[in-house]
A and B are shown apart, each in its own frame.
Chain A
Amino acid sequence: MQKFLASALARGLAWQLGGWLVGAGMVTGIRLLMGLSPLGLFFFTEPAWVFGGFLGVLAFVAGSRIVDDWTKWAKGEQIPDHRDDPPGWGKYIGVSLDHKVIGIQYTITSLLLLVVGGSFALVFRTELSRSGMQFLSLQWYNTLMSLHGIGMIIGILLGVAGVMNYLVPMLIGAQDMAFPRLNAFSFWIAVPAVVLLLSSLALGGFDTGWTGYPPLSARGPVGTQMFFLGVFTAGWSSILGGLNLIATTLRLRARGMTAFRMPILVWAALATSLITLTATQLIGLSFQLVVFQRLFGMGFFDPAKGGNPVLFQHLFWFYSHPAVYVFVLPGLGVISELLPVFVRKPLYGYRWIAMSSLGIALVGFLVWAHHMFASGMNSYLQVPFMYSTLLVAVPTGVKFFSWVATVWKGKIDMPTPMLFVLGGIVVFLLGGLSGPPNATVATDLHLTDTYFIVGHFHDTIFGGYVFPFFAAIYYWFPKATGRRMDEKLGKLHFWLMTPSFLTLTLLMMRVGLLGMRRRIADYDPALGFDGYHLLMTIAGYLIALSVAIFLFNLFRSIKRGEKAEGNLWNSRSPEWQVSSPMPAHNFDEPIEVVGEPYDYGLAGSQYTRFVQAAQNKDLHS
């Protein structure tokens, strides 16, 4: 307990609360002096909550002492290159500079947030199981629906960051990230962001959906502001994390690892990071403009003042469409990374796969307005955006061809990670095939804002992120702990989740085609959707059960899992050539790359070797 109270986490949270109250108090005091009403609906007024929330984030940073080294640097003091972590679990709630610890911190935070966001879905899914309002008010329905969306999105972003942080330095044979302190900062800034986001529950909620379109978001309750502020803060985590990954990949690769000898996951991380580094600024800006519109009456999106609500949608989707590629590209990278290991064959079309990640990321910058076909934007924009969107199918198709060709005539091994890889491919295919009808203007005008979109979206994200994420955890868990997760429970998890999930999304698409609107709390019983919705709700609960089994398996295996210290999956990747759990500085002997990464099954081929061992061999020969 004492260890917890003294940790960076506990101190940061306490300071955040303090900073919040001080900031809110300051604004309230100023309002009193100016003769404005000092108190509002939720005790403090909206400006007080917003300024307090902002100050709270700064206070978290100060209280958790994540910037201590930088202040020392500014004072002209010497700072060490490395800091060793204390033994035990304490390092996971303290400031660590080790990318492996930070990766696990990200992953745990992500899982927590995904569980919270997922349970919100269960609550409103229960409400939807029958027509008519059962137990939720309209405002609560909207709030839970909105928070499910943004909670899952931030959760996935943190999960993506976790996977990339943990793996990229290992996969390129580096000791750590290029900027370890910035890496720690990127993780820790996400913690106050999550607190801000969830605080909207207590401040009237927000009923705009995660997209936060004005004019609705310009007049909702104070909770809307907390949502904006939370996402804005979390954005910094994404931006700085992306910066770090790009610099790491470009500067710290092992000797001999040329661009086309990098693991596919590293290519995917690079493509992802290009998006998070640049586009994230635009969602931050768009949210900031709404915050200012609410606080100072600046009429960016207010037609009465000459503003333009559609401008918000352009700025917002410029990030928020590429954001889905941020979710899926690392997942697709995991699929390409694991497939050759379990079919014992070379990855088919390595260069094409590497380039397709970059291709998706770059084309992804040019497709945003396909979310706005029904928004009243200029109609001449519709056709170009339709074609650019359809173009995304080309590099994505390249990936599918490669996966099919890789599996073709392979000797397939089916442990749990491989099940999730194959499940991910199938589900992502469904998501991909249901995409083009939304991209073509004529069909989209019928489908937009229906449950068809909801089904399509969940298919892409489960196939592109959730399944590969689970595969990655089952696969690399031994690398982090030296033990493996239980196979039986893993298989139960998969066989419970996959059919339930397919039932859920296929029914979503079905009711969507029949005219079920998305984001609404109730539907007309005469539409005859009651039975479908009941089935979807049951499927939702089964998914939750399977995730509960996964979490049980995860936490049990940390201490009680079967020992697995060697190269468990018989992989060629550098991180499996050293012991598990990974040594503190990854590779005590530097490695160098001497061959192709995915030449599985080719006799005598080698990907990496230790520089030291190679030199000794040269001496003896």
Chain B
Amino acid sequence: MPKELMNKQDIDRAVTRMAHEILEKNKGMDRLCLVGIQRGGVYLAQRLAAKIKQIEKKDIPVGVLDIAFYRDDLNIRKEQPVVRRTEILCEVTDLKIVLVDDVLFTGRSIRAAMDALIDIGRPSLIQLAVLVDRGHRELPIKADYVGKNIPTSLSETVVVRFEEEGLEDRVVLEKTSQGQPDNA
């Protein structure tokens, strides 16, 4: 039985808070760009951009990044990851990029995303915003903005469901039979 960790309201409040934190830490949105990691991070980045627009009354560029080509686990995955589009609408070089993902787990996805970004250009700095940090890092990666810290065990998986995919906004905890699920 999946256990609910955050409901629609919880998620919305967290996103609002994170939007404020991003603007606070970066002293505004000058030279700032959000880049969502396919797929969960993309919806999140779009919502953060909407909140930021509410606050600053201006559009912030939102890019989309697919990390399939940069993964380090292609040989051991059961199924080949589907390749999706990459569209970084901002000129990465000399910009401040906030990478956005739904769940931070081992940190390997973020490493792949950073490799991809750096192959695209030379950002002046990269920050990381995640909705959920579930612990169990395997690389020295830290999120700058966290919606909620949720300690988990390796036999569990955290799933974020999005309205944009036709489901109700929820963060749930499910049991898996073995270690590494999709969110890494």
| Chains A and B come from one and the same complex | no
Residues of B within 8 A of A (CB): none
Residues of A within 8 A of B (CB): none
